[in-house]
């Protein structure tokens, strides 16, 4: 019997119904559809409306779709990992909330906080549990309700982010399908340029932090952009080299959807034409942990067994990386 790899055997996704268009943003801040489209590629994003609705409300339909498509009951899930920076609460983990809501009685779980690279970190972590031989069904979800931490009077951030999420089921494979390799990196120095100032233990919530709007995303966009272009492209290029992949043998680039210009630069470094690049930023914006699995969800019908996929991300932390996946099934 061959070595155990973690194959993706099902994909699920969810985006809320409410569409926040560039046109509507024009009524909230001093911006234009033209500026947003040319600088980011985004036309609209989804917003989760309703009181007391957190990221778990996105994860639940994702988990249910995965179970339905794979024909399993939630009780068969061994482990749930949720990649998010917008957990329902600081604690317990959103994974705990989700396992309870879907009736995954036999699962344990935890959250991973790695911002826009969260899904890559979580996927690689989940794969280790499968490869150990002890776990048969590991669910990995990336989801964020970014609207909870966005200041809709700040034109430099509110035009970028949206709510949504998606996920995958990992199961053991002995024919080499699934996650083959990952390059994961971080540099805490980058926290200066992208973070949320208050609400953690260093600066707990107070009247002052609320008045100062310190519970929103703070981003120095230009600096983040510069690091994102360099590091995401580099990681994607390195994973190709390390696995003897060429621009011909890579079928899909599955990039984090932060800015179309960052995606284009990554594809260019890899020598890939536009047709090989998954792109849905125009419809969902940047859903942080959700972007990469949402691409897999949107493009699932076009994926064939044996396709070589390179996933790549860059985000807050800084965190970044790339993963190489051999797709495990044909469209159903
Ligand atoms: O996913 C997590 C990681 N995050 C990222 O990867 C995001 C990386 N950064 C970016 O995508 C881009 O930096 C942004 C989309 C955030 C901004 O685009 P940019 O081309 O870097 O613009 P900028 O910040 O350099 O601003 C250029 C100009 C400024 O005006 P002046 O100073 O030249 O007069 C801004 O005030 O554009 C102005 N501006 C806007 N104008 C209209 C900034 N935001 C807006 C806006 N509408 N929404």
Out of 3.40.50.2000, 3.40.47.10, 3.40.640.10, 2.60.200.20, the CATH code matching 180-326 is 3.40.47.10
Q: Whose CA is nearest to atom 39 of ligand 1?
A: 156
pLDDT of residue 76: 98
Domain ranges of the chain: 5-176, 180-326
What is the average pLDDT value for the chain, to the nearest integer?
98
For 130-139, what is each residue's pLDDT tens digit? 999 999 999 9
Q: Whose CA is nearest to atom 43 of ligand 1?
A: 156
pLDDT of residue 1: 62
Q: Which residues of the chain have pLDDT under 70?
A: 1
> Distance, CA 137 to ligand 1 centroid (Å)?
42
> Distance, CA 100 to ligand 1 centroid (Å)?
40
Of 37, 44, 23, 43, nearest in space to 261 by CA: 37
Active centre residues (catalytic): 116, 256, 286
> Distance, CA 91 to ligand 1 centroid (Å)?
33
For strands 163-173 and 5-14, give the pairing: antiparallel
Tell me whether the CATH fold assigned to 5-176 matches the one assigned to 180-326.
yes
Separation CA 121–CA 126 (nearest Å): 9
Collapse the DSSP code of 234 into the 3-class scheme (helix H, G, I; strand E, B; otherwise coil) and give the result: helix
pLDDT of residue 119: 98
Model's pTM, two decimal places? Answer: 0.98
**In this structure, what DSSP letter does residue 4 have?**
P
pLDDT of residue 332: 83
Collapse the DSSP code of 221 into the 3-class scheme (helix H, G, I; strand E, B; otherwise coil) and give the result: helix
Domain 5-176 in this protein, CATH class: alpha beta
Beta bridge partners of 185: 320
The terminus-to-terminus CA distance of the chain in angstroms comes to 27
224-231 long-range contacts (CB < 8 A, ≥24 apart) are: 224/190, 224/193, 224/194, 225/259, 225/261, 225/262, 227/190, 227/193, 227/314, 227/318, 228/258, 228/259, 228/262, 228/314, 228/315, 228/320, 229/261, 229/262, 229/265, 229/266, 231/185, 231/314, 231/318, 231/320
> Distance, CA 225 to ligand 1 centroid (Å)?
9
Q: Which residues contact 230 (CB under 8 A, 6 or more apart)?
A: none
List pocket residues of ligand 1, CB cut-off 6 Å: 31, 35-36, 39-40, 116, 155-156, 159-160, 221-222, 224-225, 228, 258-259, 262, 286, 315
For 207-239, what is each residue's pLDDT tens digit? 999 999 999 999 999 999 999 999 999 999 999
Q: Whose CA is nearest to atom 30 of ligand 1?
A: 156
Report CA torsion sign: 267, 270, 271, 273: negative
Peptide bond into 318 cis (omega under 30): yes
Query: Hey, which of 221, 228, 312, 321 would you mutate to test ligand 1's pocket, going by the most ligand atoms within 8 Å of its Cβ?
Result: 221
For 157-190, what is each residue's pLDDT tens digit? 999 999 999 999 999 999 999 999 999 999 999 9
């Amino acid at each position: 019997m061959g070595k155990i790899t973690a194959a993706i055997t099902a994909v699920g996704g969810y985006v809320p119904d409410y569409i926040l268009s560039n046109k509507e943003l024009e009524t909230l801040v001093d911006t234009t559809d033209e500026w947003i489209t040319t600088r980011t590629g985004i036309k609209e994003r989804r917003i989760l409306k309703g009181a007391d609705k957190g990221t778990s409300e996105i994860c639940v339909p994702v988990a249910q779709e995965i179970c339905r498509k794979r024909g399993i009951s939630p009780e068969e899930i061994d482990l749930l990992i949720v990649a998010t920076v917008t957990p329902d609460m600081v604690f317990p983990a959103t994974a705990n909330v989700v396992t309870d809501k879907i009736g995954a009685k036999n699962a344990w779980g935890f959250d991973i906080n790695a911002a826009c690279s969260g899904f890559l970190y979580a996927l690689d972590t989940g794969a280790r549990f499968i490869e150990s031989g002890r776990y048969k069904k590991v669910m990995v979800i990336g989801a964020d309700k970014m609207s909870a931490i966005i200041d809709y009077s700040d034109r430099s951030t509110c035009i970028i982010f949206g709510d949504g999420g998606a996920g995958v089921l990992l199961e053991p494979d002995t024919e080499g399908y699934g996650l083959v390799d990952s390059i994961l990196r971080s540099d805490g120095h980058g926290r200066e340029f992208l973070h949320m100032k208050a609400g953690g233990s260093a600066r707990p919530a107070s009247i002052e932090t609320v008045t100062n709007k310190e519970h929103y995303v703070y981003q120095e966009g230009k600096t983040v952009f510069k690091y994102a272009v360099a590091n995401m492209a580099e990681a994607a290029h390195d994973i190709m080299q390390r696995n003897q992949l060429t621009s011909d043998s890579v079928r899909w680039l599955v990039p984090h959807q932060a800015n179309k210009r960052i995606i284009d630069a990554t594809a260019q470094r890899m020598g890939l034409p536009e047709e090989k690049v998954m792109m849905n930023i125009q419809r969902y914006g940047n859903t942080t942990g959700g972007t990469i699995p949402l691409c897999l969800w949107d493009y699932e019908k076009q994926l064939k067994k044996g396709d070589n996929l390179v996933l790549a991300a860059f985000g807050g932390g800084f965190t970044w990386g790339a993963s190489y996946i051999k797709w495990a099934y044909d469209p159903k």
